Amino acid sequence: MNNMMTKIAGGLEQAFAARGFTEPSVEDLRDAAGVSMRTLYKYAQSRDAMIRLALEHRHQRYLAQVFGHPTDESVQSLSETLDRIAGWMQAEASHGCLFHAAVASSPTDPALRKLLEKHKEEVSQLASTKARTDMSTSDLLVIIEGLTQAWPLSKDAALASAKRLACLAEAASN
Amino acid sequence: MNNMMTKIAGGLEQAFAARGFTEPSVEDLRDAAGVSMRTLYKYAQSRDAMIRLALEHRHQRYLAQVFGHPTDESVQSLSETLDRIAGWMQAEASHGCLFHAAVASSPTDPALRKLLEKHKEEVSQLASTKARTDMSTSDLLVIIEGLTQAWPLSKDAALASAKRLACLAEAASN
DNA sequence: CCGCAAGTAGAGTGAATATTCTACCGGAGA
DNA sequence: TCTCCGGTAGAATATTCACTCTACTTGCGG
Protein backbone atom coordinates (compact mmCIF):
# COMPACT_ATOMS: atom_id res chain seq x y z
CA MET A 1 0.00 0.00 0.00
CA ASN A 2 2.40 2.71 1.12
CA ASN A 3 4.94 0.55 -0.56
CA MET A 4 2.83 0.68 -3.71
CA MET A 5 2.51 4.43 -3.35
CA THR A 6 6.25 5.08 -3.32
CA LYS A 7 6.81 2.62 -6.15
CA ILE A 8 4.31 4.54 -8.26
CA ALA A 9 5.64 7.93 -7.21
CA GLY A 10 9.18 6.89 -8.07
CA GLY A 11 8.23 5.65 -11.49
CA LEU A 12 6.25 8.79 -12.25
CA GLU A 13 9.11 10.99 -11.10
CA GLN A 14 11.51 9.23 -13.40
CA ALA A 15 9.19 9.47 -16.38
CA PHE A 16 8.52 13.17 -15.91
CA ALA A 17 12.19 13.93 -15.30
CA ALA A 18 13.23 12.15 -18.46
CA ARG A 19 10.57 13.37 -20.84
CA GLY A 20 8.99 16.46 -19.33
CA PHE A 21 5.46 16.98 -18.13
CA THR A 22 3.76 17.22 -21.49
CA GLU A 23 5.09 14.40 -23.59
CA PRO A 24 4.36 11.22 -21.63
CA SER A 25 0.85 9.88 -22.01
CA VAL A 26 -0.92 8.25 -19.12
CA GLU A 27 -0.14 4.92 -20.72
CA ASP A 28 3.55 5.81 -20.66
CA LEU A 29 3.18 6.81 -17.03
CA ARG A 30 1.49 3.51 -16.25
CA ASP A 31 4.41 1.63 -17.78
CA ALA A 32 6.92 3.77 -15.90
CA ALA A 33 5.09 3.15 -12.65
CA GLY A 34 4.89 -0.56 -13.39
CA VAL A 35 1.24 -0.97 -12.40
CA SER A 36 -2.13 -1.26 -14.08
CA MET A 37 -4.30 1.66 -15.10
CA ARG A 38 -6.77 0.91 -12.38
CA THR A 39 -4.15 0.97 -9.68
CA LEU A 40 -2.49 4.07 -11.05
CA TYR A 41 -5.77 5.96 -10.94
CA LYS A 42 -6.47 4.62 -7.50
CA TYR A 43 -3.41 6.38 -6.10
CA ALA A 44 -3.59 9.47 -8.30
CA GLN A 45 -7.08 10.47 -9.39
CA SER A 46 -5.98 12.39 -12.46
CA ARG A 47 -2.93 13.10 -14.57
CA ASP A 48 -2.43 16.34 -12.65
CA ALA A 49 -2.43 14.41 -9.41
CA MET A 50 0.28 12.19 -10.87
CA ILE A 51 2.42 15.27 -11.39
CA ARG A 52 1.91 16.35 -7.80
CA LEU A 53 2.71 12.88 -6.53
CA ALA A 54 5.95 12.82 -8.50
CA LEU A 55 6.97 16.23 -7.18
CA GLU A 56 6.34 15.30 -3.53
CA HIS A 57 8.50 12.26 -4.03
CA ARG A 58 11.27 14.23 -5.69
CA HIS A 59 11.25 16.80 -2.90
CA GLN A 60 11.98 14.08 -0.36
CA ARG A 61 14.72 12.54 -2.45
CA TYR A 62 16.32 15.90 -3.13
CA LEU A 63 16.47 16.84 0.53
CA ALA A 64 17.89 13.45 1.44
CA GLN A 65 20.57 13.56 -1.21
CA VAL A 66 21.63 17.17 -0.71
CA PHE A 67 21.28 17.49 3.06
CA GLY A 68 21.40 13.90 4.27
CA HIS A 69 18.92 12.16 6.51
CA PRO A 70 16.57 14.59 8.33
CA THR A 71 17.83 13.53 11.75
CA ASP A 72 21.43 14.27 10.81
CA GLU A 73 22.35 17.49 12.56
CA SER A 74 25.95 17.81 11.46
CA VAL A 75 27.31 21.03 10.03
CA GLN A 76 27.60 21.20 6.23
CA SER A 77 29.53 24.03 4.62
CA LEU A 78 27.94 26.03 1.85
CA SER A 79 30.63 24.86 -0.48
CA GLU A 80 29.79 21.25 0.23
CA THR A 81 26.09 21.92 -0.21
CA LEU A 82 26.77 23.43 -3.62
CA ASP A 83 28.91 20.43 -4.54
CA ARG A 84 26.07 18.14 -3.62
CA ILE A 85 23.60 20.18 -5.63
CA ALA A 86 25.88 19.92 -8.66
CA GLY A 87 26.12 16.20 -8.02
CA TRP A 88 22.35 15.96 -7.96
CA MET A 89 22.09 17.85 -11.23
CA GLN A 90 24.64 15.57 -12.81
CA ALA A 91 22.91 12.40 -11.72
CA GLU A 92 19.25 13.30 -11.72
CA ALA A 93 18.36 16.61 -13.26
CA SER A 94 20.33 17.15 -16.40
CA HIS A 95 17.31 19.00 -17.79
CA GLY A 96 17.06 21.50 -14.91
CA CYS A 97 14.88 21.89 -11.85
CA LEU A 98 11.80 19.69 -12.05
CA PHE A 99 9.71 22.07 -9.97
CA HIS A 100 10.34 24.98 -12.27
CA ALA A 101 9.64 22.69 -15.19
CA ALA A 102 6.31 21.69 -13.71
CA VAL A 103 5.25 25.28 -13.13
CA ALA A 104 6.46 26.21 -16.59
CA SER A 105 4.35 23.50 -18.15
CA SER A 106 1.17 24.81 -16.54
CA PRO A 107 1.84 28.25 -15.14
CA THR A 108 -1.77 28.77 -14.18
CA ASP A 109 -1.97 25.86 -11.75
CA PRO A 110 -1.79 27.21 -8.19
CA ALA A 111 -1.10 23.80 -6.65
CA LEU A 112 2.14 23.48 -8.58
CA ARG A 113 3.09 27.02 -7.66
CA LYS A 114 2.64 26.12 -4.01
CA LEU A 115 4.81 23.03 -4.33
CA LEU A 116 7.55 25.05 -6.00
CA GLU A 117 7.48 27.69 -3.28
CA LYS A 118 7.52 25.13 -0.51
CA HIS A 119 10.43 23.31 -2.10
CA LYS A 120 12.59 26.38 -2.61
CA GLU A 121 11.73 27.80 0.77
CA GLU A 122 12.70 24.59 2.52
CA VAL A 123 15.90 24.20 0.53
CA SER A 124 17.26 27.67 1.24
CA GLN A 125 16.19 27.39 4.85
CA LEU A 126 17.98 24.08 5.28
CA ALA A 127 21.10 25.27 3.48
CA SER A 128 21.25 28.23 5.80
CA THR A 129 20.82 26.37 9.08
CA LYS A 130 23.09 23.48 8.09
CA ALA A 131 25.90 25.88 7.26
CA ARG A 132 25.33 27.89 10.43
CA THR A 133 25.80 31.01 8.35
CA ASP A 134 24.51 34.54 8.87
CA MET A 135 24.11 35.07 5.18
CA SER A 136 20.54 35.97 4.24
CA THR A 137 18.41 33.18 2.85
CA SER A 138 17.61 35.48 -0.05
CA ASP A 139 21.27 35.62 -1.08
CA LEU A 140 21.42 31.89 -0.70
CA LEU A 141 18.36 31.39 -2.84
CA VAL A 142 19.83 33.49 -5.63
CA ILE A 143 23.05 31.50 -5.57
CA ILE A 144 21.32 28.13 -5.47
CA GLU A 145 18.90 29.08 -8.21
CA GLY A 146 21.75 30.50 -10.24
CA LEU A 147 23.70 27.28 -9.92
CA THR A 148 20.68 25.12 -10.66
CA GLN A 149 19.77 26.98 -13.82
CA ALA A 150 23.29 27.68 -15.05
CA TRP A 151 24.55 24.17 -14.48
CA PRO A 152 22.93 22.64 -17.55
CA LEU A 153 24.51 25.43 -19.60
CA SER A 154 28.04 25.55 -18.25
CA LYS A 155 28.50 22.66 -15.78
CA ASP A 156 31.69 23.00 -13.77
CA ALA A 157 32.14 26.67 -14.53
CA ALA A 158 28.73 27.31 -12.98
CA LEU A 159 29.66 25.34 -9.88
CA ALA A 160 32.92 27.24 -9.50
CA SER A 161 31.13 30.56 -9.86
CA ALA A 162 28.47 29.63 -7.34
CA LYS A 163 31.11 28.62 -4.82
CA ARG A 164 33.08 31.80 -5.37
CA LEU A 165 29.98 33.94 -4.88
CA ALA A 166 28.97 32.01 -1.77
CA CYS A 167 32.43 32.47 -0.35
CA LEU A 168 32.40 36.22 -0.98
CA ALA A 169 28.93 36.64 0.46
CA GLU A 170 29.77 34.65 3.55
CA ALA A 171 32.89 36.68 4.18
CA ALA A 172 30.91 39.87 3.80
CA SER A 173 28.18 38.81 6.21
CA ASN A 174 30.39 38.76 9.31
CA MET B 1 4.75 40.50 -45.09
CA ASN B 2 7.60 41.07 -42.67
CA ASN B 3 5.08 43.25 -40.95
CA MET B 4 2.76 40.27 -40.81
CA MET B 5 5.55 38.11 -39.49
CA THR B 6 6.29 40.33 -36.51
CA LYS B 7 2.59 40.76 -35.79
CA ILE B 8 2.19 37.00 -35.64
CA ALA B 9 5.37 36.48 -33.63
CA GLY B 10 4.29 39.11 -31.11
CA GLY B 11 0.87 37.57 -30.64
CA LEU B 12 2.34 34.10 -30.24
CA GLU B 13 4.87 35.35 -27.73
CA GLN B 14 2.16 36.93 -25.64
CA ALA B 15 0.01 33.81 -25.69
CA PHE B 16 2.83 31.50 -24.69
CA ALA B 17 4.05 33.89 -22.00
CA ALA B 18 0.61 34.14 -20.48
CA ARG B 19 -0.47 30.52 -20.62
CA GLY B 20 2.62 28.41 -21.09
CA PHE B 21 3.61 26.23 -24.01
CA THR B 22 1.21 23.38 -23.39
CA GLU B 23 -2.15 24.92 -22.70
CA PRO B 24 -2.93 27.11 -25.69
CA SER B 25 -4.38 25.27 -28.67
CA VAL B 26 -3.51 26.32 -32.17
CA GLU B 27 -6.92 27.98 -32.33
CA ASP B 28 -6.00 30.04 -29.29
CA LEU B 29 -2.72 30.91 -30.95
CA ARG B 30 -4.53 31.94 -34.10
CA ASP B 31 -6.71 34.29 -32.07
CA ALA B 32 -3.70 35.68 -30.24
CA ALA B 33 -1.90 36.29 -33.50
CA GLY B 34 -5.00 37.89 -34.99
CA VAL B 35 -4.81 36.06 -38.30
CA SER B 36 -6.50 33.15 -40.02
CA MET B 37 -5.41 29.54 -39.70
CA ARG B 38 -4.13 29.53 -43.22
CA THR B 39 -1.90 32.55 -42.69
CA LEU B 40 -0.66 31.31 -39.35
CA TYR B 41 0.49 28.05 -40.90
CA LYS B 42 2.01 29.91 -43.80
CA TYR B 43 4.45 31.68 -41.48
CA ALA B 44 4.96 28.81 -39.05
CA GLN B 45 4.61 25.34 -40.54
CA SER B 46 3.81 23.59 -37.28
CA ARG B 47 2.98 24.32 -33.68
CA ASP B 48 6.62 23.73 -32.78
CA ALA B 49 7.65 26.31 -35.35
CA MET B 50 5.26 28.75 -33.68
CA ILE B 51 7.13 28.24 -30.43
CA ARG B 52 10.45 28.94 -32.11
CA LEU B 53 9.04 32.02 -33.81
CA ALA B 54 7.80 33.37 -30.49
CA LEU B 55 11.16 32.77 -28.83
CA GLU B 56 13.12 34.54 -31.56
CA HIS B 57 10.83 37.50 -31.17
CA ARG B 58 11.18 37.52 -27.40
CA HIS B 59 14.94 37.35 -27.63
CA GLN B 60 14.99 40.56 -29.66
CA ARG B 61 12.59 42.33 -27.33
CA TYR B 62 14.51 41.23 -24.27
CA LEU B 63 17.82 42.50 -25.56
CA ALA B 64 16.27 45.80 -26.57
CA GLN B 65 14.60 46.35 -23.23
CA VAL B 66 17.50 45.26 -21.04
CA PHE B 67 20.42 46.60 -23.04
CA GLY B 68 18.88 49.27 -25.23
CA HIS B 69 19.15 49.58 -28.98
CA PRO B 70 21.96 47.45 -30.47
CA THR B 71 23.81 50.51 -31.79
CA ASP B 72 23.87 52.11 -28.35
CA GLU B 73 27.42 51.75 -27.07
CA SER B 74 27.10 53.52 -23.75
CA VAL B 75 28.32 51.95 -20.53
CA GLN B 76 25.71 50.31 -18.34
CA SER B 77 26.60 49.28 -14.80
CA LEU B 78 25.83 45.79 -13.63
CA SER B 79 23.51 47.20 -11.04
CA GLU B 80 21.52 48.98 -13.70
CA THR B 81 21.41 45.86 -15.84
CA LEU B 82 20.00 43.92 -12.92
CA ASP B 83 17.43 46.65 -12.30
CA ARG B 84 16.35 46.40 -15.89
CA ILE B 85 16.09 42.64 -15.73
CA ALA B 86 13.88 42.94 -12.66
CA GLY B 87 11.81 45.51 -14.54
CA TRP B 88 11.44 43.09 -17.40
CA MET B 89 10.33 40.31 -15.06
CA GLN B 90 7.80 42.62 -13.48
CA ALA B 91 6.33 43.74 -16.76
CA GLU B 92 6.69 40.73 -19.00
CA ALA B 93 7.76 37.53 -17.34
CA SER B 94 5.94 37.11 -14.06
CA HIS B 95 6.04 33.35 -14.68
CA GLY B 96 9.81 33.13 -15.14
CA CYS B 97 12.16 32.83 -18.09
CA LEU B 98 10.30 31.87 -21.25
CA PHE B 99 13.30 30.08 -22.71
CA HIS B 100 13.66 27.79 -19.74
CA ALA B 101 9.93 27.25 -19.82
CA ALA B 102 10.09 26.20 -23.45
CA VAL B 103 12.88 23.73 -22.84
CA ALA B 104 11.09 22.43 -19.78
CA SER B 105 7.95 21.78 -21.77
CA SER B 106 9.80 19.64 -24.29
CA PRO B 107 13.21 18.79 -22.92
CA THR B 108 14.01 16.46 -25.77
CA ASP B 109 13.80 19.10 -28.51
CA PRO B 110 17.32 20.12 -29.54
CA ALA B 111 16.15 23.21 -31.42
CA LEU B 112 14.76 24.72 -28.25
CA ARG B 113 17.92 23.81 -26.38
CA LYS B 114 19.93 25.70 -28.98
CA LEU B 115 17.72 28.77 -28.68
CA LEU B 116 18.08 28.75 -24.90
CA GLU B 117 21.84 28.47 -25.10
CA LYS B 118 22.13 31.22 -27.68
CA HIS B 119 19.92 33.51 -25.61
CA LYS B 120 21.80 33.04 -22.34
CA GLU B 121 25.15 33.21 -24.03
CA GLU B 122 24.30 36.48 -25.70
CA VAL B 123 22.81 37.98 -22.56
CA SER B 124 25.78 37.30 -20.31
CA GLN B 125 28.15 38.39 -23.04
CA LEU B 126 26.31 41.67 -23.50
CA ALA B 127 26.04 42.29 -19.78
CA SER B 128 29.75 41.81 -19.46
CA THR B 129 30.84 44.07 -22.29
CA LYS B 130 28.32 46.81 -21.49
CA ALA B 131 29.53 46.98 -17.91
CA ARG B 132 33.18 46.94 -18.99
CA THR B 133 33.82 44.56 -16.14
CA ASP B 134 36.52 41.92 -15.70
CA MET B 135 34.17 39.63 -13.88
CA SER B 136 33.86 36.24 -15.57
CA THR B 137 30.79 35.71 -17.72
CA SER B 138 30.19 32.53 -15.77
CA ASP B 139 29.79 34.48 -12.52
CA LEU B 140 27.54 36.85 -14.35
CA LEU B 141 25.43 34.05 -15.72
CA VAL B 142 24.93 32.57 -12.26
CA ILE B 143 23.84 35.92 -10.87
CA ILE B 144 21.49 36.68 -13.74
CA GLU B 145 19.99 33.21 -13.69
CA GLY B 146 19.65 33.44 -9.93
CA LEU B 147 17.80 36.72 -10.17
CA THR B 148 15.60 35.54 -13.00
CA GLN B 149 14.52 32.39 -11.20
CA ALA B 150 14.33 33.81 -7.70
CA TRP B 151 12.43 36.92 -8.71
CA PRO B 152 9.05 35.24 -9.03
CA LEU B 153 9.57 33.81 -5.56
CA SER B 154 10.87 36.78 -3.62
CA LYS B 155 10.73 39.88 -5.89
CA ASP B 156 12.64 42.81 -4.42
CA ALA B 157 14.64 40.68 -2.00
CA ALA B 158 15.98 38.71 -4.96
CA LEU B 159 16.93 41.90 -6.76
CA ALA B 160 18.73 43.25 -3.71
CA SER B 161 20.62 39.98 -3.27
CA ALA B 162 21.63 39.86 -6.91
CA LYS B 163 22.95 43.40 -6.73
CA ARG B 164 24.87 42.68 -3.55
CA LEU B 165 26.48 39.61 -5.06
CA ALA B 166 27.36 41.44 -8.26
CA CYS B 167 28.95 44.21 -6.26
CA LEU B 168 31.05 41.80 -4.20
CA ALA B 169 32.13 39.85 -7.25
CA GLU B 170 33.08 42.97 -9.13
CA ALA B 171 35.14 44.27 -6.22
CA ALA B 172 36.92 40.92 -5.98
CA SER B 173 37.76 40.78 -9.69
CA ASN B 174 40.13 43.77 -9.70
C1' DC C 1 -10.78 45.25 -66.67
C1' DC C 2 -7.94 41.14 -65.65
C1' DG C 3 -5.64 38.23 -62.83
C1' DC C 4 -2.96 37.12 -59.17
C1' DA C 5 -0.92 37.48 -54.60
C1' DA C 6 -2.27 37.35 -50.05
C1' DG C 7 -5.55 37.48 -46.97
C1' DT C 8 -10.29 35.70 -44.08
C1' DA C 9 -13.73 32.36 -42.36
C1' DG C 10 -14.62 28.21 -40.90
C1' DA C 11 -15.65 23.31 -41.46
C1' DG C 12 -13.64 18.50 -41.84
C1' DT C 13 -10.46 14.76 -40.72
C1' DG C 14 -7.93 11.62 -38.44
C1' DA C 15 -5.10 10.60 -34.75
C1' DA C 16 -3.99 10.85 -29.88
C1' DT C 17 -5.29 10.31 -25.35
C1' DA C 18 -7.44 10.94 -20.48
C1' DT C 19 -10.54 8.44 -18.12
C1' DT C 20 -13.74 4.61 -17.23
C1' DC C 21 -15.37 -0.02 -17.43
C1' DT C 22 -15.45 -5.08 -17.79
C1' DA C 23 -13.54 -9.38 -16.75
C1' DC C 24 -10.34 -11.89 -14.39
C1' DC C 25 -6.82 -13.67 -10.66
C1' DG C 26 -4.24 -14.79 -6.25
C1' DG C 27 -3.86 -15.07 -1.61
C1' DA C 28 -4.97 -14.34 3.32
C1' DG C 29 -8.14 -14.60 6.97
C1' DA C 30 -12.78 -16.36 8.95
C1' DT D 1 -13.51 -23.77 1.64
C1' DC D 2 -15.33 -19.36 0.77
C1' DT D 3 -14.89 -14.71 -0.08
C1' DC D 4 -13.25 -10.23 -0.38
C1' DC D 5 -9.35 -7.14 -1.11
C1' DG D 6 -6.27 -5.49 -3.98
C1' DG D 7 -4.21 -6.21 -7.75
C1' DT D 8 -3.64 -7.12 -13.56
C1' DA D 9 -4.89 -6.70 -18.47
C1' DG D 10 -6.71 -4.25 -21.74
C1' DA D 11 -10.80 -2.65 -24.39
C1' DA D 12 -14.40 1.24 -24.96
C1' DT D 13 -15.58 6.04 -24.95
C1' DA D 14 -15.68 10.59 -25.75
C1' DT D 15 -13.20 14.51 -26.45
C1' DT D 16 -9.62 17.34 -27.85
C1' DC D 17 -6.74 19.15 -31.21
C1' DA D 18 -3.12 19.69 -34.93
C1' DC D 19 -3.40 20.29 -39.40
C1' DT D 20 -5.72 20.66 -44.09
C1' DC D 21 -9.00 22.03 -47.37
C1' DT D 22 -12.70 24.66 -49.68
C1' DA D 23 -14.78 28.77 -50.85
C1' DC D 24 -14.72 33.49 -50.74
C1' DT D 25 -12.70 38.54 -50.57
C1' DT D 26 -9.63 42.40 -51.48
C1' DG D 27 -6.11 45.34 -53.31
C1' DC D 28 -2.97 46.33 -56.91
C1' DG D 29 0.10 46.40 -61.18
C1' DG D 30 -0.28 46.37 -66.13
Q: Kindly report, residue by residue over A21-76, the tens digit of the pLDDT.
A: 999 999 999 999 999 999 999 999 999 999 999 999 999 999 999 999 989 889 99
CB < 8 Å from B in window 96-125 of A: 96-97, 100-101, 103-108, 116-117, 120
Q: What is the mean pLDDT of chain B?
A: 95
Q: Which of B87, B66, B69 is nearest to B77 (CA)?
A: B66
Its CATH architecture, for the domain A3-173, is Orthogonal Bundle (1.10)
Q: What is the pLDDT of residue B1?
A: 45
Distance of B32 CA from C3 C1′ (whole Å): 33
Closest nucleotide (C1' vs CA) to A50 is C18
pTM of full prediction above 0.75: yes
In terms of Cβ atoms closer than 10 Å to its own Cβ (0-12, 13-18, 19+), residue B2 is: exposed
Test B104 with A120 for CB contact under 8 angstroms: no
Identify all chain B residues contacting A149, using CB atoms and an 8 Å cutoff. 97, 100, 145-146, 148-149
Q: What is the pLDDT of residue B94?
A: 79
- pLDDT of A138 over the 60 cut: yes
**B95 Cβ contact partners less than 8 Å away, ≥ 6 residues apart:** A103, A104, A107, B17, B20, B101, B152
* From A22, A149, A161, residue closest to B106, measured CB to CB: A22
Query: What are the boundaries of each domain within chain A?
Result: 3-173
Nearest 5°: CA angle at A71, between A66 and A74? 65
- pLDDT of A108 over the 50 cut: yes
